[in-house]
Amino acid sequence: MKTATCELFKKIFLTLKPPPDMTLTEWADKYRILSQKTSAEPGRWRTSKAPYQKEIMNAISDLSVHKVVVMSAAQIGKTDGFILNPIGYFMDYDPCPIMVMHPDLQRAEEFSKTRLTSMLRDSPILRDKVNDKTRNSGNTILHKDFPGGYVAIVGANSPAGLSSRPVRVLLADEVDRYPATAGPEGDPLLLASKRLTTFWNYKEVFISTPTVKGISRIEVEFENSTQETWHVPCPDCGEFQPLTFEGCIFDSKNLTDVDYRCLKCGAVNSEIVWKEKYTSGKFIAKYPERKTRGFFLNSLASLLTSWESIVKKFLEANNEKKKGNFELLKVWTNTEMGQTWKEEGNEIESDDLYKKRRRRYDAEVPADVICLTAGIDTQNDHFVVEVVGWGEEKESWGIVYKKIYGDLKQQKVWSELDVFLNQTFKKADGTQYKIIRACFDTGGHYTNEVYKFCKQRFARGIFAIKGGNTGFDKPFIPNPTKNNREKVLLWTLGVDIGKAQIYSFLAVEEEGAGFCHFPKGKKGEDIAGYDEEYFKGLTAERMVMTYVRGKAQFVWKLKESGYRRNEPLDCRNYALAALEISNIPLKKSSQPGTPAAAVRKRRRGVRRTINN
């Protein structure tokens, strides 16, 4: 009896015994099978084929490391090594909720249908983890349940996929391709990171080839990490060194072989000789004391591409550069060297807008406008107001930009503002439009006066707003509160998100969704306030990537040009907020004042005045 009892407890303890310590590299070498459909070399995974992957993969499975950053060239096996292998490892060895994030939903679905499905099918250890065979299994293309956890696959452009689910492991691929904001919700990566807060052993893995200097998220993440660069020993002197393009030796006119010169001893060896030493390569950290592990690799370190191929792409890009086309060289710098591209012309220039975007309207309000909103900024001795017309898919027309000067302590200037906001604007057919919503900034020295003004005119759609809610992790339009002296409804806007949307509209070059129109008078005449100073103010800021409270995020800063009057940008932002608050459907079919509606109004003897 005792013997049987002892045997029973032995079986129980063996069942409950935790699995032996296993790194991600060990798991992949033992269990991962590469699919014939998605891999050039199908079969068992071998980390030795890409030695630089070992340290990165093991950092991902290290419990003492919470964040891993990989800034690299394109052809180094990132998806298999740092996305798929971790998914398989955590599904099998350490089950937990996992989120895999891609730049958009289309790429998320493609990843699930091809790469993830192939790994689950072809790796026997994972084959029975996910049940896709029954309708009630709870599994879809973008959601895979397995014992002890799930894999959620999301697009950074889809706010719904980024919220309302706790995750322990966040695997974010190509983060430099993420939009600055997921609609009005905020920064997609910050939204996703909030899902990790309930786990002490959370893991963030950010991977990307970099893009443009100043707005590259992966570069900022890397700069605030250990900054570990792949080094290999010289075949002659043994000196460990990073491989740079400057060390490559080749004949551009007769490209047959590419050699590399040692930075220390000057010895020149072929690609084959250098790559034989890759198994002895290692990452060397610039800041080993930092907690975030950051790794950098370029294509010269890769065993998946040849140096000759890298040099050929450079020569092609350099030839295009001589013709004035920098695009290929930019792509080569990002995808082959793993470096950011310093782009002088990446900002929206006021001169371009002034010269190219102004047009003569057929009337005060162009035909395609559906509604009007306004944004009002308060200065010490004047108000600044912009009225904006909105069409389908947020195509916009500047209607009037005006400064109303006066002593803000006196009622006269407030009455003048009231008259301005209450006026009507005409289309060519005589249809009259009123401003349906206006957002009035309460900042400055006249906060209580603005509160009172808005409270008395709330029924007319003139709302008090505050533009102090900065950061891309805040919604553009939050719920209003009455936490102020006058108990008026107050919206604290996510102004950074609004500015990002405006700049994305200004970057649209073809008329249609998002395109911004501005009025133009006769030769030499700047009508409705849209002069050169307006466009300087509209483009006075630029968006840069920086580190804020331990997170890489976009912030808005005034340009180095020194122009500091950014009221046009603020007013356009408030007018956009007024549109969002109104929630009017921007469709011509639902537009008040369409021909049929106008006929009915004439029959009733009603004046055709649009007043929502």
Q: What is the CATH number of the domain that holds 596?
A: 3.30.420
- pLDDT at 593 > cutoff 60: no
Residues 218 and 361 in one domain: no
Q: How large is the average pLDDT for residues 492-501?
A: 87
Q: How large is the average pLDDT for residues 135-140?
A: 66
Phi, psi dihedrals of residue 330, rounded to the nearest 5°: -65, -45
pLDDT score, position 320: 84
Banded model confidence at residue 610, pLDDT cuts 50, 70, 90: very low
Q: Residue 363 falls within a domain, yes or no?
A: yes
The C-alpha atoms of residue 171 and residue 166 are separated, in whole angstroms, by 14
The whole-chain average pLDDT of the chain stands at 87
Could you read off the pLDDT of 302-358 as tens digits, one per residue? Answer: 988 999 999 999 999 988 877 767 889 989 999 999 999 876 544 677 888 998 899
Q: How large is the average pLDDT for residues 560-565?
A: 70
The dihedral through the CA atoms of 92, 98, 103, 105 has a sign that is positive
Could you read off the pLDDT of 54-101 as tens digits, one per residue? Answer: 999 999 999 999 999 999 999 889 999 999 999 999 999 999 999 999
Which burial class, exposed, middle or buried, applies to 312 when counting CB atoms under 10 A from its CB (0-12, 13-18, 19+)?
Answer: middle
In sequence order, the β-bridge partners of residue 462 are: 438
Q: Residue 466 falls within a domain, yes or no?
A: yes
* Least confident segment among 255-259, 475-479, 603-607: 603-607
For tokens 């975007």, name the residue.
357
Banded model confidence at residue 600, pLDDT cuts 50, 70, 90: very low
Q: What predicted TM-score, i.e. pTM, was given to this entire model?
A: 0.69
Banded model confidence at residue 588, pLDDT cuts 50, 70, 90: confident
In sequence order, the β-bridge partners of residue 555 are: 544
- Total residue length of the chain: 612
Q: How large is the average pLDDT for residues 394-410?
A: 94
Structural domain containing residue 533: 350-610
Last residue of a domain, one of 223, 248, 267: 223
Q: Residue 317 falls within a domain, yes or no?
A: no
- pLDDT at 507 > cutoff 90: no
Last residue of a domain, one of 223, 238, 264: 223
Residues 544 and 396 in one domain: yes
pLDDT score, position 155: 92
477-487 core/surface letters (b: 16 or more CB in 10 A; e: else): beeeeeebebe
Contact criterion met (CB below 8 Å) for 505 and 514: yes
Banded model confidence at residue 469, pLDDT cuts 50, 70, 90: low
Nearest CA to 206 out of 340, 23, 72, 50 is that of 72
The dihedral through the CA atoms of 495, 475, 471, 208 has a sign that is negative
Q: Residue 10 falls within a domain, yes or no?
A: no
For tokens 């990307």, name the residue.
208
Task: Count structural domains, the chain.
Answer: 2
- pLDDT at 9 > cutoff 70: no
The C-alpha atoms of residue 36 and residue 227 are separated, in whole angstroms, by 35
Banded model confidence at residue 522, pLDDT cuts 50, 70, 90: low
Q: Coil, strand, or helix at residue 464?
A: strand
Contact criterion met (CB below 8 Å) for 184 and 477: yes
pLDDT score, position 562: 63
Q: Which two tokens stand for residue 206?
A: 């950010």
Q: Residue 272 falls within a domain, yes or no?
A: no
Torsion of CA 568, 569, 573, 576, to 10 degrees: 70
| Ramachandran category for residue 321: left, alpha or beta (phi over 0 → left; psi -120 to 50 → alpha) | alpha
- pLDDT at 177 > cutoff 80: yes
pLDDT score, position 594: 38
Q: How far apart are the first and last CA of the chain?
A: 87
Q: Residue 64 falls within a domain, yes or no?
A: yes
* Least confident segment among 58-62, 188-192, 220-224, 315-319: 188-192
Q: Residue 239 falls within a domain, yes or no?
A: no
Residue with more model confidence, 599 or 270: 270
* Least confident segment among 136-145, 250-259, 570-579: 136-145
pLDDT score, position 239: 95
Residue with more model confidence, 574 or 477: 574
Q: CATH number of the domain that 197 lies in?
A: 3.40.50.300
What percent of the chain is predicted at pLDDT more than 90? 60
pLDDT score, position 19: 57
Phi, psi dihedrals of residue 33, rounded to the nearest 5°: -120, 130
Contact criterion met (CB below 8 Å) for 463 and 491: yes
What percent of the chain is predicted at pLDDT more than 70? 87
Q: Residue 388 falls within a domain, yes or no?
A: yes
pLDDT score, position 494: 87
- pLDDT at 377 > cutoff 70: yes
- pLDDT at 151 > cutoff 90: yes
Q: Which two tokens stand for residue 365?
A: 């309000």
Last residue of a domain, one of 174, 196, 223: 223
